[in-house]
Structure 1
């Protein structure tokens, strides 16, 4: 099956030439994108169908039709100068690492060879990781729980179901209506694993993955076969007896239900496994900062705060609630607010405002007013156009306040010593770097919707 790869915000031309995607394939993939949860208006949230090309947008992952697939990778600058196959492999590796951190999964990236990173798509790599983890888990034994059963037996087992006994067996008392508890593997968690195995088998195109899935399907042959819509996710209880299954349960949600969309029928028949990079970058950075500050006097809150910009004069009801991405406190007081932005900012040499959105500046000014934080940061992904190393690129003093608003970048392509680099950036006790005072326009005062 032909598989195509494109970077977010790049285009893939369609036609019959080398490196092009046939127009019929482009139509099928665009149809799948239009019914995705990330589609937005006219499917523009995933891919934009142009006259001569498909243009990827700010969503990454896989769109797969029956006879072709499109892999959308994030625009992460890795191994400059390498061939495109090697660059795509390193990008997949960094993306899987970001997913692992964001979803709190323990993934051994070294278990997958360099050739596999280059040859397989993101979907096949995630299927491989799921199969390896599940195989290791079932070797230690499938989880079991006591479940209540009813059966008609010649001897009493458990307790007598009186209602059933005197209705069904009133004439034939040789059978006893028993109700008893039995230790069973046919439970909600195992049914979810089986449904995930079955679903992945239908969408995987890798012979090696299909073999792994067949072996796992044999292990789960005695488990009830339920469609995804009938699975009881709410019945799964993760406790000390089965906590090692937490990661597999989360991966099943990822692959089967949570951010996974399946479409059937018509020209849009296919599957999609998609991630919004802005949300993934925010979650990844937030969790890495939480790790970096362990053992310090700073505490971290993700998507906390929730203070309101306005309150109704008549009722006092709060309006326009705020949710800063990352709040850092010392002894309960807010000392640093960080908002992550998955955008490519410019060097100050190229543009004095670095291409920072005015709406983002207004948002940070509102945070400064509400949270009284002395330090605000707009944090972007690093790229070579900003220089060789990640850094604080500009520091501004908000007019009329002592609050510092800075723009900074973090290199997600470079995972080495990430925690040390973040810790050094976040420790607010160090002397401040020089800043430049700029006039930032005030928030608009007229009524707006």
Structure 2
């Protein structure tokens, strides 16, 4: 079955289409029904995966990643960071960068032709990363451990289980009940790796992935696969002796579908993972700002995430409605409260307020009053794109003479986007000081 590639807020249908696009695609009726049931599970837990338009059409929400239905339909959902043209390659590149940042992973560099195969589908990229890590782990040496074995044998080995031996019926005096230890690779971490490897062998359609997967399978053919994935993940050790296993664990979780917000009911689990795009964007901006602050010389600064120390009001002596801005940036004696929004603005559409939300302004005003004491600068950060390019300035939005809001674009494809944002904030402070002077 041909994989379907769409992006956020795309529409999926069982009706016939002339051709699939990133915003509308045809899927099988069984995959459609499965998605509807999955959406109901999400909704029951307060999450919005999709909206059902009618019996033939549904609209996805802002989750990105990949889903594989029981019928084998693979749906790859990419970020919507551009509007014009087909942009699979850049969207895949962006999504991979955001996932690596959010999971605090490093992509292992390899010497063959995979010079970042950004055009490969997301599932194949995930499997390639897992296989590369597993290949490195096998070459370095897998962790073995002692395992206690209790069994009847015709010879003595280890310790004799005297109690069982005395209870043995007549005619079996030649059988010994023994206990002994064996040095084996049969441990939770290795069983999970074998289960993930078998899944890759069955799933991959990429020649390089298929070849490497079967080479590794021949090396690990004696190792049993995990029969209880969740229990084995809970037993995964993180001590010093297992430090070289930590790099492969997230990739193993991806392959075994441990990064879906809700478990898919039933026995089938394809290679699936979903991330809310809002959280990926927030995490990336925070990481880039923190790295930029650390590189700045001569100024002591820090970036704080997910503040939760203030409340909107007090009722009968108790705090009500916790306020949680995304970021707080400190540079010397200056402080800013920042909030990220994954939404595409139009810098020329002033009539419709550029696409800004009044609710977001209410939210930032509350942050300013409670975290900045009604005096300072708030920042709303949106992704940069064609209609809102990096460097665009919409001007200040003034709540009062002392409290202002800046709306700023963040270029996800630029290396110095965070540094540029910090420099503009510093320039704004210098400009205000000159006006006061």
TM-score by length of 2: 0.80
- The equivalent residue for 2:308 is 305
Contact 1:48 1:57 in 2 (8 A): no
Map 1:14-413 → 2, pairs under 5 A: 15-20=15-20, 25-36=27-38, 40-41=42-43, 45-46=49-50, 48-50=52-54, 53-65=57-69, 66-77=71-82, 84=86, 87-107=87-107, 113=114, 116-118=117-119, 120-147=120-147, 150=150, 157=158, 164-169=161-166, 175=176, 177-178=178-179, 183-260=183-260, 263=264, 272-296=272-296, 297-313=300-316, 316-330=317-331, 335-347=335-347, 349-351=349-351, 353-372=353-372, 374-387=376-389, 389-399=390-400, 402-412=402-412
Map of 1:444 onto structure 2 = none
Cα deviation 1:404-441 (Å, max 9, x = unaligned): 221111111x233345435535657852479xxxxxxx
Equivalent residue for 2:415? Answer: 416
Would you say the 8 A contact 1:390–1:411 is kept in 2?
A: no
Partner Cα distance (1:394, 1:433) in 2: 14
Distance apart, 1:198 and its partner CA: 2.6
TM-aligned CA distance change 1:129 to 1:425, over 3 Å: farther
Maintained 8 Å contact 2:399/2:405: yes
Task: Provide Cα deviations, 1:25-52, integer angstroms capped at 9, x if missing partner.
Answer: 3433332323437964499624645566
For these two proteins, the number of residue pairs brought into alignment is: 416
State the shift of 1:368 in Å.
1.5
TM-fit CA distance, 1:143: 2.4
Shift of 1:183: 4.4
- Output the CA distance in 2 between the equivalents of 1:396 and 1:112: 50
C-alpha distance in 1, partners of 2:290/2:203? 36
Q: Which runs of 5+ in 2 are unaligned?
A: none
Pairwise CA distance, 1:277:
0.7
User: Any idea what the Cα deviations from partners look like across 1:93-135, whole Å, max 9, x if unmatched?
Assistant: 11101111111111158876589533x3211221122212221
In the alignment, the residues of structure 2 paired with residue 246 and residue 355 of structure 1 have an alpha-carbon distance, to the nearest angstrom, of 43
Give SS of 2:241's match: coil
Give distance in 2, aligned partners of 1:306 and 1:367: 11
Distance verdict in 2 for CA 1:230–1:11, change over 3 Å: closer
1:232 Cα offset (Å): 2.2
Alpha-carbon shift at residue 235 of structure 1 (Å): 2.0
Q: CA separation in 1, counterparts of 2:254 and 2:305?
A: 21
Q: For the structure 1 residues 38 and 248, does the alpha-carbon distance in structure 2 shift closer, same or farther, using more than 3 Å as the test?
A: farther
Contact 1:394 1:408 in 2 (8 A): no
Closer, same or farther: CA 26–311 of 1 in aligned 2, 3 Å:
farther
2:354 alignment partner, SS class: coil
**Post-superposition offset of 1:385:** 0.7
Q: Is the 8 A contact 1:13 1:54 kept in 2?
A: yes
Distance 2:189 2:364 in 1: 43
CA distance in structure 2 between the partners assigned to 1:114 and 1:49 by the alignment = 41
**348-357 vs 360-369, which deviates more?**
348-357
Aligned-pair CA distance for 1:19: 0.7
Q: Is the 8 A contact 2:152 2:175 kept in 1?
A: no
Higher mean displacement: 135-144 or 218-227? 218-227
TM-score computed with the length of structure 1 as normaliser? 0.78
Cα 1:433–1:346 change in 2 (3 A) is: farther
Structure 1 residue ranges without an equivalent (≥5):
435-449
Displacement of 1:336 in angstroms is 1.6
Matched residues in 2 for 1:99 and 1:126: separation?
11
Deviation for aligned residue 1:371: 1.5
Residues in 2 aligned to 1:422 and 1:168: alpha-carbon distance in whole angstroms: 77
